[in-house]
Amino acid sequence: MTHVIDVQHLQKLFHQEVALRDVSFSIKKGEIFGFLGPSGSGKTTTIKILTAQLTKNKGQAYVFGKDAKEMSKSSNRARFGILTDNSGLYLRLSVEENLSLYSKLYNLPNSSVKEALEFVNLYDVRKKKVSQLSKGMIQRVTLARSIMHKPELLFLDEPTSALDPVNTQHIYNGLRKLNEMGTTIFLTTHDMSEAETLCDRIAFLHKGKIRAIGSPQQLKKQFGDDTITVELIDGSEHCIENCKDEAKKVYDWMRSGLISRIYTNEPTLGDIFLQVTGSDLI
């Protein structure tokens, strides 16, 4: 089994209202996979089904080759970690006390608390009560808690929403390190640049359906119009097809020393999203 997650024709209704219409995708071991979609598109619902917090209506959902329902078992829970926007911490306890509870729940050695806190760069504030921390710090403590058992699979539901750039960068670095150590990551976001910087592959989710899927490069190629723009020294811009017939133009400009800049016209992920869904992200 090389797929850590395999989802086929997943459907979820909330009282007749469709949250997931027909979702199919799979995630290979070691991948960072991004679910990109505006709020209400069904990202959290998908994660909840995969972690046995919700039951599906139709389709198949497999995690570690097992029916996602089995993720409610203790032994399977030890294999994944999860960070959601409302993962709770105990406000009256210190950072260290919060993690120490989980190190025991996961049956980890005492050193795991220190390791996890160093991972998110928070070892210095370990004695502080959670209620005294900033939002960004709380998010990092929660991340530390969700990765302290070095899970094979990590679910991240909008991990950097409402974080400042510095904290976001901290989290990105941590996630890359974790991924290099072998953790498969399933991440949801409505931030295109986040998807682009972190993910090996992304899927666009819109109104409960996947509209496009692939690596950022693939998607850009697929949805790009294959033109290049040549900017001349007189300031004029020329959009030309990237093909043999246009080669002579470029050749002549270049020989006459008229070119100041040449670039390909890649669409941004946001452009592609707009193109495939007809609506803006967010």
Partner 1 sequence: MNFSRIQAIFIKDYKEFSRNYAVSIMVLLPLIMAFIYNKTGVNNIQAYFLPINLAFTSVTAFVQCCLIAEEKERNTLRSLMLSPATLFDILLGKSLLVFSISAVTVLLSIFLVGYNPGNWLILGIALFLSIVFYTGLGTLGALFTKTILEASVVILPIILLFSFGPFLTVLAENIPVLKVAEWLPSTQIILLAESLEVSYTLSDVLIPIMTILIWTIIIWLSTIFLYKKRMVD
Residue 25 or 64 having the CB closest to Mg ion: 25
Q: Which of 58, 67, 91, 162 binds partner 1 (CB under 8 A)?
A: 91
Contact 111, 131 (CB under 8 A): no
The CB-of-86 to partner 1 minimum distance in angstroms stands at 5
The CB-of-59 to ligand ADP minimum distance in angstroms stands at 15
Residue 42 binding target from partner 1, Mg ion, ligand ADP, none, CB below 5 to 8 Å by type: ligand ADP
Would you count residue 41 as binding Mg ion (CB under 5 A)? no
**Alpha carbon distance 195, 258 (integer Å):** 37
Q: Which of 18, 93, 232, 250 binds partner 1 (CB under 8 A)?
A: 93
- Record the tokens describing residue 218, joined without a space: 């693939």
Express the helix, strand and coil content of the chain in percent, nearest 5 each.
40, 30, 30
SS3 239: strand
Would you count residue 183 as binding ligand ADP (CB under 6 A)? no
4, 1, 2: which is closest to 184 by C-alpha?
4
Residue 78 or 276 having the CB closest to partner 1: 78
**Alpha carbon distance 245, 97 (integer Å):** 68
Q: Which of 1, 15, 16, 86 binds partner 1 (CB under 8 A)?
A: 86
CA 266 to chain centre: 21
Strand 184-189 versus strand 153-157 pairing type: parallel
Which residues, numbered 11-30, are part of the site for ligand ADP (CB under 6 A)? Answer: 14, 19
Q: For the window 24-63, what string marks contact with partner 1 as x by the rule CB under 8 A? A: ------------------------x--xxxxx--------
Residue 14 or 90 having the CB closest to ligand ADP: 14
Would you count residue 45 as binding ligand ADP (CB under 6 A)? yes
Neighbouring-strand partners of residue 11: 58
> What number of other Cβ atoms are within 10 A of residue 232's Cβ?
14
Would you count residue 44 as binding Mg ion (CB under 5 A)? yes
252: exposed, middle or buried (Cβ count in 10 Å: 0-12, 13-18, 19+): exposed
Report CA-CA distances (Å) from 44 to 2, 182, 205, 220: 24, 24, 11, 26
What is the C-alpha R_g of the chain?
A: 23
Residue 65 binding target from Mg ion, ligand ADP, partner 1, none, CB below 5 to 8 Å by type: none
Which residues, numbered 134-153, are part of the site for partner 1 (CB under 8 A)? Answer: 145
CA 41 to chain centre: 15
> Which window, 24-32, 82-90, 171-179, 224-232, contacts partner 1 (CB under 8 A)?
82-90
Residue 159 or 216 having the CB closest to partner 1: 159
**What is the contact surface with partner 1 in residues (CB under 8 A)?**
48, 51-55, 72, 74-75, 77-78, 82, 86-93, 97, 100-102, 104-107, 145
Interface residues toward ligand ADP, by CB under 6 A = 14, 19, 37, 39-45
